[in-house]
């Protein structure tokens, strides 16, 4: 049980930090698409008896690379949409070979916190630390490139390189968060917390910190509620993320009405 | 005759009633989704399938819990999604991407809850798989009337609105200039799409249903520019993918690992995907031929960078 | 000339069979205020991309502080013409200016008194203290532009490049920005290269003008360049230069010359002195 809290907290921290930049860059598509691909990886891994984390990692990185190389073209492409559905179908195929078909499908898609084994603690911690470190190291150029890509280019910060690096971090984050929150719900956590946080503060670092705090709150509430009611954690994560997001939006609306200002030149 | 066909069709194929239903329903659904899909792709609303996948899951899971037919659940879930999309506006924008994702996430979470409640109440585990990945072999005879009804409704909407829908999909301005109520036509199309997505969901599952909604239609539109031909081609591709998928799935009982059937939806999605990739070949060949042709006039007037 | 902040020597750029820039040469001395004037489509943005090292040349060299392959990015500040700042982004004006100090370096910014003082100084220089704590995405276009200028200047570049900063402003707004730029450039001892298709707002402050038309350039003082004979030769067709109460009106006559894509008669922007 301690495992569940520890791992879930790590997941929340990473989701808060990486999610901050995901929302900043508007990378909703990547955040949706990468977990789809990793679903097949996890399913395949469990089939051949390799660690799920490994399967998730390989397919997440592969998906991230592909999305990065396709660039804008991939976002509205029918080929990309079909390729992603293909990955889900492949995952379904792999899982259909295993005896635990149904429960494995469920836990991969919706998450499985309370079944985290002590073995997963170390790799999850390592991946999580890598993610945080990467974001810390890339912080300055990533901030500029995300907000003003042209100015970044003029300073020698390649937008393409920043995108690829960020997608790689997103892939790593997906890898370690999916076992807990599930492929279908990781997007909610990664978007809901930062989107809420940015409504409450104007400062970037504070917003990132608040994003982590909100994510932790969401995850802790989800685990506690799940433990109490036995209802799936994913349900609470999805609902709490939506509530956080809504609160954030409402607060933004209230604030903008209060501080309506004529613009000056 | 059966000796000749037996390598392709495993034993008992033609006799099985489940197969009969699967082939018939599959063909019908393929036609419906192909037709609606063509307009969806022309209108650039392919991503709508995402919303139907997620909220359809919620509807289906809810149906299981309440004890109503799954198809009803898909229909209701999708109609709610269609209503939300109509309200929010179907254009993509950065803020809307986030909002949509959040709503879908909440819906998925709800689905997780419904599935959990159902599974623990009934101690059966097949619900998740059935909803998400479909089961064309498990469609009961009782569902068929509803399938027929929904198909009829979708085809009625789409074929009645054929001309105004086509015109407003290609150019909304021209259509409203002609007095076509563009907004209404769009809303009706969304309803048709919602119902078609429900039908796709019951055959190949909610999160895979996009393949049938978008794949054959997109392939058809790469092969032909004429709308009527596109509709027929899309339906044809869909039928082909469904039927071949059913055959392969049935045969897969004898493939490794023995004793289990590979999911039909896997075959259908793969076939649709392969067809889409192949449908790009004629265009690529055409482009290569014109590239090799000697250039026409010197120094035309392309757009200038400033 | 050694000591020039920027020197272009015979720079040509050819893309897909078209000549976008044709043997462009000019120099900018330290602290000089230079206007890059020309109609839309003349190649101004391409020229900027060449200077920033984002576009390869087909011929010629670009020397920044005398070096062809030096730390160009550190020496040149850039303000783009178009940018989109989401109003929800949690980044205050002062945060964006602070980012200018060392955005190219890895790692996270360490708050310090020096940083804060530097940011305050820059905000004061562009007269942005009033909205320093507002989210950048919620500022008006002009305010955002000033923040971007501060962001570019805080790194102490030798040259400040601005791509059509006056394009969407009325005459009053344009004059304000030009005055601000001239003042700040003097205070910070930065050379300025600003592109525009309207020459008049810049006339009072320009030390030098680089006139770009159909990829070819002429550079010199306003008196040397803005003349009917010089511009006619540049355009390859008859051009009149009129003085209307101290404002310049440049009118290109109708011609069959196809170098200037699609511009017949007065080219946009220069006809209306505003």
The pLDDT tens digits of the residues spanning C149-188 come to: 999 999 999 999 999 999 888 888 888 899 999 998 888 8
Q: What is the pLDDT of residues C191-203, one digit of tens each?
A: 999 999 888 889 8
Shortest CA distance to B116 belongs to which of B59, B73, B75, B61?
A: B61
The answer to whether residue A90 scores a pLDDT higher than 60 is: yes
User: What is the tally of structural domains in chain B?
Assistant: 1
User: Are A154 and C96 in contact (CB < 8 Å)?
Assistant: no
pLDDT band with cut points at 50, 70 and 90 for residue C262: very low
Give the nearest partner residue to A150 out of C83, C169, C176, using CB atoms: C83
The answer to whether residue A263 scores a pLDDT higher than 50 is: no
Give the nearest partner residue to B306 out of C15, C17, C42, using CB atoms: C42
User: Are B112 and A234 in contact (CB < 8 Å)?
Assistant: yes
pLDDT score of C235: 84
Residue B300, by phi and psi: left (phi above 0), alpha (psi -120 to 50) or beta?
Answer: beta
What is the token pair recorded at B166?
A: 């086509």
What is the token pair recorded at C147?
A: 């923040």
Residue with tokens 């490794």: B256
**Chain A residues lying within 8 Å of C176, measured CB to CB:** 265
User: Are C140 and A201 in contact (CB < 8 Å)?
Assistant: no
Residue C62 β-bridge partners: C8
Average pLDDT along chain C? 86
pTM for the model: 0.87
Give, rounded to a whole angstrom, the gap between the first and last alpha carbons of chain C. 37
The answer to whether residue C91 scores a pLDDT higher than 70 is: yes
**Chain C residues lying within 8 Å of A136, measured CB to CB:** 107-108
Contacts of residue A62, defined as CB under 8 A and 6 or more positions apart, other chains included, come to A37, A41
What is the token pair recorded at B283?
A: 């265009």
Q: What is the pLDDT of residues B168-193, one digit of tens each?
A: 888 888 888 888 888 889 899 999 99
Question: How many CB pairs (< 8 A) connect A and B?
Answer: 160
pLDDT band with cut points at 50, 70 and 90 for residue B255: confident
User: Are C90 and A204 in contact (CB < 8 Å)?
Assistant: yes
User: Are A136 and C80 in contact (CB < 8 Å)?
Assistant: no
**Chain B residues lying within 8 Å of C262, measured CB to CB:** 301
| Min Cα separation C263/chain B (Å) | 12
pLDDT band with cut points at 50, 70 and 90 for residue B283: confident
The answer to whether residue B123 scores a pLDDT higher than 80 is: no
Nearest CA in chain C to A264: C140
The answer to whether residue A260 scores a pLDDT higher than 70 is: no
Helix/strand number for chain B, H first, E second: 14, 0
Give the nearest partner residue to C261 out of B94, B95, B304, using CB atoms: B304
Give the nearest partner residue to B94 out of C18, C41, C86, using CB atoms: C86
**Chain C residues lying within 8 Å of A148, measured CB to CB:** 80, 83, 85, 96, 148
Shortest CA distance to C66 belongs to which of C161, C156, C2?
A: C2
Residue A143 CB neighbours (<10 A)? 23
What proportion of chain A, given as a percentage, has pLDDT over 90? 55
Partner A, chain C 50-79, Cβ-Cβ below 8 Å: 52-54, 72-73, 76-79
The answer to whether residue B304 scores a pLDDT higher than 60 is: no
User: Are A263 and C140 in contact (CB < 8 Å)?
Assistant: yes
| Min Cα separation B128/chain A (Å) | 7
Across the range C71-76, mean pLDDT stands at 87
User: Are B108 and A110 in contact (CB < 8 Å)?
Assistant: yes
Partner C, chain B 90-109, Cβ-Cβ below 8 Å: 94-95
Domain hosting B169: range is 16-207
Distance between CA atoms of residues B113 and B127, nearest Å: 12
The region of weakest confidence among B77-81, B93-97, B211-215 is B93-97
pLDDT band with cut points at 50, 70 and 90 for residue C268: very low
Average pLDDT along chain A? 88
Across the range C58-65, mean pLDDT stands at 91
In a domain, B251, yes or no: no
Q: What is the pLDDT of residues B23-74, one digit of tens each?
A: 999 999 999 999 999 999 888 887 777 788 888 999 999 998 888 888 999 9
Please report all neighbours of B, defined by 3+ CB atom pairs within 8 A: A, C
- Give which of A72, A85, A211 to mutate to test B binding, by max B Cβ within 10 Å: A85
pLDDT score of A114: 64
In a domain, B231, yes or no: no
pLDDT score of C265: 39
**Chain B residues lying within 8 Å of A89, measured CB to CB:** 133, 208, 211, 263, 265-266, 269-270
**Chain A within 8 Å of C148 (Cβ-Cβ)?**
yes
User: Are A148 and C148 in contact (CB < 8 Å)?
Assistant: yes
In a domain, B66, yes or no: yes
pLDDT score of B141: 81
**Chain C within 8 Å of A202 (Cβ-Cβ)?**
yes
User: Are B305 and C262 in contact (CB < 8 Å)?
Assistant: no
pLDDT band with cut points at 50, 70 and 90 for residue C69: confident
- Give which of C13, C14, C15, C17 to mutate to test B binding, by max B Cβ within 10 Å: C17
pLDDT band with cut points at 50, 70 and 90 for residue B299: very low
Q: What is the pLDDT of residues C203-254, one digit of tens each?
A: 889 999 999 988 899 999 988 988 888 888 888 888 888 888 878 888 876 6
Residue with tokens 């954690």: A233
CATH number, residue B140 = 1.10.3470.10
Radius of gyration (C-alpha) of chain A in whole angstroms = 19
Across the range A246-252, mean pLDDT stands at 91
Residue with tokens 């013409």: C81
pLDDT score of C39: 85
pLDDT band with cut points at 50, 70 and 90 for residue A22: very high
Q: What is the pLDDT of residues A148-203, one digit of tens each?
A: 999 999 999 999 999 999 999 999 999 998 888 888 889 899 999 999 999 999 99
Q: Please give the C-alpha separations between residue A27 and each of A5, A115, B102, B188, C18, in angstroms, as whole numbers.
A: 28, 30, 14, 31, 36
C266 vs C16, higher pLDDT: C16
In a domain, B57, yes or no: yes
**Chain B residues lying within 8 Å of C41, measured CB to CB:** 304-306
In a domain, B295, yes or no: no
How do C208-213 and C18-28 pair as beta strands?
unpaired
Partner A, chain B 136-195, Cβ-Cβ below 8 Å: none
What proportion of chain B, given as a percentage, has pLDDT over 70? 90
Q: Which of A58-72, B134-148, B224-238 has the highest mean pLDDT?
A: B224-238
User: Are C45 and B304 in contact (CB < 8 Å)?
Assistant: no
The alpha carbon of C70 is separated from its chain's Cα centroid by a whole number of angstroms, namely 21
Q: Edge-to-edge strands of the sheet including C6-15?
A: C18-28, C6-15, C59-64
Give the nearest partner residue to B301 out of C40, C45, C261, using CB atoms: C261
């Amino acid at each position: 049980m301690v495992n569940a809290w520890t791992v879930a907290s790590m997941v929340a921290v990473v989701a808060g930090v990486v999610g901050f930049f995901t929302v900043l860059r508007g990378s909703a598509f990547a955040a949706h698409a990468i977990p789809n691909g990793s679903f097949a990886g996890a399913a395949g891994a469990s089939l051949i008896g390799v660690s799920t984390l490994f399967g998730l990692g390989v397919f997440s990185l592969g998906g991230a690379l592909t999305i990065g190389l396709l660039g804008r073209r991939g976002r509205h492409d029918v080929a990309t949409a079909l390729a992603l559905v293909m990955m889900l179908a492949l995952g379904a195929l792999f899982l259909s070979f295993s005896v635990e078909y149904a429960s494995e499908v469920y836990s991969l898609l919706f998450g499985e916190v309370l079944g985290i084994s002590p073995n997963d603690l170390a790799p999850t911690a390592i991946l999580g630390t890598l993610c945080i470190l990467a974001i810390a190291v890339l912080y300055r150029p990533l901030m500029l490139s995300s907000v003003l890509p042209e100015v970044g280019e003029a300073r020698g910060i390649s937008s393409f390189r920043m995108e690829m690096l960020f997608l790689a971090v997103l892939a790593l984050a997906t890898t370690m968060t999916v076992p807990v929150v599930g492929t279908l719900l990781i997007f909610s956590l990664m978007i809901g917390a930062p989107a809420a946080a940015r409504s409450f503060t104007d400062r970037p670092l504070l917003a990132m910190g608040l994003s982590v705090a909100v994510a932790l709150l969401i995850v802790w509430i989800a685990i506690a509620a799940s433990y109490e009611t036995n209802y799936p954690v994913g349900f609470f994560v999805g609902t709490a993320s939506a509530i956080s997001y809504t609160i954030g939006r409402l607060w933004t609306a209230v604030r903008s009405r209060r501080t309506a200002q004529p613009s000056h030149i | 005759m059966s000796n000749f066909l037996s390598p392709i069709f495993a034993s008992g194929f033609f006799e099985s009633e489940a197969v009969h239903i699967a082939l018939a329903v599959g063909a019908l659904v393929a036609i419906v989704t192909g037709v609606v899909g063509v307009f969806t792709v022309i209108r650039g609303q392919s991503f709508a399938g995402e919303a139907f996948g997620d909220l359809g899951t919620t509807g289906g899971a809810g149906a299981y819990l309440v004890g109503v037919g799954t198809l009803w659940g898909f229909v209701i879930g999708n109609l709610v999604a269609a209503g939300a999309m109509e309200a929010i506006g179907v254009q993509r924008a950065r803020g809307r991407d986030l909002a949509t994702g959040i709503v879908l996430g909440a819906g998925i979470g709800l689905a997780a809850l419904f599935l959990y409640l159902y599974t623990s109440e009934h101690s059966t585990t097949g619900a998740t798989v059935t909803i998400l990945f479909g089961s064309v072999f498990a469609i009961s005879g009782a569902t068929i009337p509803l399938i027929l009804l929904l198909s009829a409704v979708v085809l009625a909407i789409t074929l009645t609105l054929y001309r105004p829908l086509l015109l407003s999909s290609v150019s909304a301005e021209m259509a409203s200039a002609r007095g076509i109520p563009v907004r209404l036509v769009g809303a009706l199309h969304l309803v048709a799409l919602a119902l078609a997505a429900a039908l796709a969901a019951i055959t190949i599952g909610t999160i895979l249903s996009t393949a049938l909604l978008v794949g054959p239609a997109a392939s058809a539109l790469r092969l032909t520019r004429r709308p009527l031909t596109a509709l027929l081609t899309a339906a044809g591709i869909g039928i082909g993918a469904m039927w071949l998928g059913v055959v392969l799935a049935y045969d897969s009982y004898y493939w490794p690992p023995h004793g289990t059937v590979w999911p039909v939806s896997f075959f259908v999605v793969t076939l649709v995907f392969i067809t889409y990739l192949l449908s790009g070949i004629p265009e690529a060949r055409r482009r290569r031929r014109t590239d090799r042709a000697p250039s026409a006039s010197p120094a035309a007037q392309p757009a200038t960078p400033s | 000339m050694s000591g020039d902040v920027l020197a272009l020597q015979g720079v040509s750029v050819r893309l897909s069979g078209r000549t976008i820039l044709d043997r462009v040469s000019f120099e900018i001395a330290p602290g000089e205020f230079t206007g890059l004037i020309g109609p839309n489509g003349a190649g101004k943005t391409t020229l900027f991309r060449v200077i920033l090292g984002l576009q390869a040349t087909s011929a010629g060299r670009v020397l920044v502080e005398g070096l062809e392959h030096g730390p160009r990015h550190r020496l040149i500040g850039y303000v783009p013409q178009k940018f989109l700042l989401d109003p929800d982004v949690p980044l205050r004006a002062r945060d964006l200016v602070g980012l200018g100090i060392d955005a190219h370096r890895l790692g996270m910014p360490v708050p310090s008194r020096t940083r804060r003082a530097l940011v305050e100084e820059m905000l004061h220089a562009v007269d942005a203290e009033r909205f320093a704590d507002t989210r950048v995405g919620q500022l008006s276009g002009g305010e955002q532009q000033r923040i971007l200028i501060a962001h570019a200047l805080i790194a102490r570049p030798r040259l400040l490049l601005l791509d059509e900063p006056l394009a969407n402003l009325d005459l009053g707004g344009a004059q304000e920005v030009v005055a601000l730029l001239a003042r700040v450039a003097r205070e910070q001892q930065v050379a300025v290269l600003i592109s525009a298709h309207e020459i008049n707002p810049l006339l009072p402050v320009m030390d030098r003008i680089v006139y770009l038309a159909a990829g070819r350039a002429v550079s010199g003082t306003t008196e040397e360049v803005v003349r009917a004979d010089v511009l006619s030769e540049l355009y390859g067709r008859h051009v009149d230069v009129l003085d209307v109460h101290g404002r310049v009106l440049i009118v290109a006559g109708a011609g069959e010359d196809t170098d200037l894509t699609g511009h017949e008669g007065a080219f946009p922007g220069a006809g209306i002195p505003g």
